[in-house]
Amino acid sequence: MIRKGGVKIAITGKGGAGKTTISCGLAFKFRDNENQVIAVDCDPDTNFALALGFPNPADIKPISQLKEMIAERTGVESLDKPQTFFKLNPKVDDIPDKYAVSHNGIKLLVMGKVCKAGSGCMCPENTFIKRLISHLVLEKNQVVILDMVAGTEHIGRGTAANVDVALIVVEPTKLGVLTGLNAENLLKQSGIKKISFIGNKIVNIDDEIFLKENIHSDFLGFIHLNKTLEQNRGIFKFDKSLEREFDEVFKKLVMED
Ligand SMILES: Nc1ncnc2c1ncn2[C@@H]1O[C@H](COP(=O)(O)OP(=O)(O)O)[C@@H](O)[C@H]1O
Ligand SMILES: [Mg+2]
């Protein structure tokens, strides 16, 4: 997995499936294995910082709110009015160093709310963030973990393009399977080469069998419904069994690359 140029991993899945939880577990595992981790919160309802245990997560200013900087970089006077002409290739390479916040050895970029207009929006903010995500320059040993927004609309929009690996988090429910397979289809169409599933909130072996019978693709692993996670109310912490499960997922991820 760790190769020249690092690796960029997008975590997708339906709302509540466990994208942020899986993103945290993987971020910690990569960090503990001597990688430099850049965690990127791509969900407009930002909670990656909170889940990673950052102090005062609400005080982190999302990139999309840095209006003056985005206006300047995209060459427009102001972002307050709709813009027809703006630079499609704004400078982004200095953004991680300038705007990432760090805690416990993890760097975090919070993208924030971009555009109410939705999928097709080509506003300066959207363009800037898309370019930032696809141009996160990776050095050897760097791992970017993108905690994506729920659903699949961002896949079509191209936010998840340019990633090396897409992981689809699925719960063992019919809806979980349906949305997972739909996401897989779209991710394949967008040209991502490595796509794997992670089963989450597994209670018993029947849940694993149900997922494997309905999704005939690669599973990186299964994470059980975990008491410690439930008790911690949204802040991620390993207990022994959770750490063991993440070790398995991590090993498989690293091995398969
Ligand atoms: N394996 C698990 N065991 C127990 N609770 C979990 C597990 N995975 C996720 N959760 C909980 O479910 C809720 C939704 O998970 P989250 O990771 O925020 O989902 P998403 O990011 O996909 O919306 C959170 O409260 C989280 O703590
Ligand atoms: Mg989330």
| DSSP secondary structure letters along the chain | ---TT-EEEEEEESTTSSHHHHHHHHHHHHHHTTPEEEEEE--SS--HHHHTT-SSGGGPPPGGG-HHHHHHHHT-S-SSS--S---SS---TTHHHHH-EEETTEEEEE-----TT-TT---HHHHHHHHHHHT----TTEEEEEEPPSSSHHHHHTTTTT-SEEEEEE-SSHHHHHHHHHHHHHHHHTT-SEEEEEEEEE-SHHHHHHHHHH--S-EEEEEE--HHHHHTTT-----HHHHHHHHHHHHHHHHH-
pLDDT, average across residues 148-172: 81
Q: Does the beta carbon of 200 lie inside 6 Å of ligand 1?
A: yes
pLDDT at 5: 58
pTM of the complete model beyond 0.85: yes
pLDDT at 158: 61
Question: Of 55-59, 149-153, 187-191, which gets the smallest average pLDDT?
Answer: 149-153
Residue 31 has phi, psi (to 5 degrees) of -60, -45
Q: Which atom of ligand 1 is nearest to the CA of 236?
A: 27
Residue 150 pLDDT level (bands cut at 50, 70, 90): confident
Instruction: List all residues 6 or more positions away from 21 whose beta carbon is below 8 Å from its beta carbon.
Output: 51, 200, 223, 229, 236
| Ligand 1 pocket mutation pick from 20, 21, 208 by most atoms within 8 angstroms of CB | 21
Spell out the domain ranges in the chain. Answer: 7-256
Going from the C-alpha of 9 to that of each of 144, 184, 237, the distances in angstroms are 6, 15, 21
Whose C-alpha lies nearest to ligand 1, atom 8?
A: 18
pLDDT at 116: 56
> Pick the residue with more confidence: 152 or 66?
66
198 alpha carbon, closest ligand: 1
Name the residue among 66, 76, 166, 78 with its Cα closest to residue 111.
66
For residue 252, count other CB atoms closer than 10 A to its CB. 17
Q: Take residue 184 and report the two structure tokens written for it.
A: 């897989």
Q: Does the beta carbon of 234 lie inside 6 Å of ligand 1?
A: yes
Calpha distance 91→93 (Å, rounded): 6
pLDDT at 216: 97
Residue 114 alpha carbon to ligand 1 centre in Å: 24
Residue 220 alpha carbon to ligand 1 centre in Å: 18
Q: Which CATH class is domain 7-256?
A: alpha beta
Residue 160 pLDDT level (bands cut at 50, 70, 90): low
pLDDT at 228: 96
**How does pLDDT run across 84-142, given as a tens digit for each residue?**
788 888 888 888 889 999 999 999 999 998 765 554 567 888 888 888 888 786 777 89
Residue 236 alpha carbon to ligand 1 centre in Å: 9
Name the residue among 111, 117, 123 with its Cα closest to residue 86.
123
Residue 3 pLDDT > 60:
no
pLDDT, average across residues 149-166: 74
**How does pLDDT run across 167-215, given as a tens digit for each residue?**
999 999 999 999 999 999 999 988 888 999 999 999 999 999 999 999 9
Residue 145 has phi, psi (to 5 degrees) of -115, 115
